[in-house]
Amino acid sequence: MAIKASGARIVRAKELNFQAQTEAILGLINNSTKMIFIANPNNPTGTMISYENLKNLHKKLPPNILLVIDEAYIEYVNDNNYSSFLSLVENNNNIV
């Protein structure tokens, strides 16, 4: 509701097997894109984008686009290969 009240428009990227596809996200970026929101791990599917894929997504983003990474459910991750994206937040001014 807050997004619509602000006049913004939600654009959803296609998923594959409930998994976010970074190339699909990048393909939707245009001059009016201000923010990309990613829940990682996703709720309710539990699917995750790897650290490397999300890092590569960020590298390809124009610097004026805010990348919001929601790790609200990180405590439920049982994958030892999963890494938090906190270091990306600490080292980049367009990641929250």
Identify the residue with better confidence: 4 or 96: 96
pLDDT at 86: 86
Alpha helices, DSSP H, located in 1-96 = 2-5, 22-27, 51-60, 86-91
Mean pLDDT over the full length of the chain: 90
pLDDT at 29: 96
What whole-number distance in Å separates Cα of residue 85 and Cα of residue 95?
A: 9
What whole-number distance in Å separates Cα of residue 52 and Cα of residue 14?
A: 20
Let me know if domain 2-91 sits in CATH 1.20.210.10. Answer: no
Spans of all domains in the chain: 2-91
What whole-number distance in Å separates Cα of residue 61 and Cα of residue 59?
A: 6
Interacting residues of 59 by C-beta distance below 8 A, sequence separation 6+:
none
3-state secondary structure of 54: helix
pLDDT at 12: 92
What would the pLDDT profile of 7-27 be if each residue is shown by its tens digit? 888 899 999 988 889 999 999
What would the mean pLDDT of 60-80 be, rounded to a whole number?
A: 91
| pTM reported for the whole predicted model | 0.86
pLDDT at 26: 96
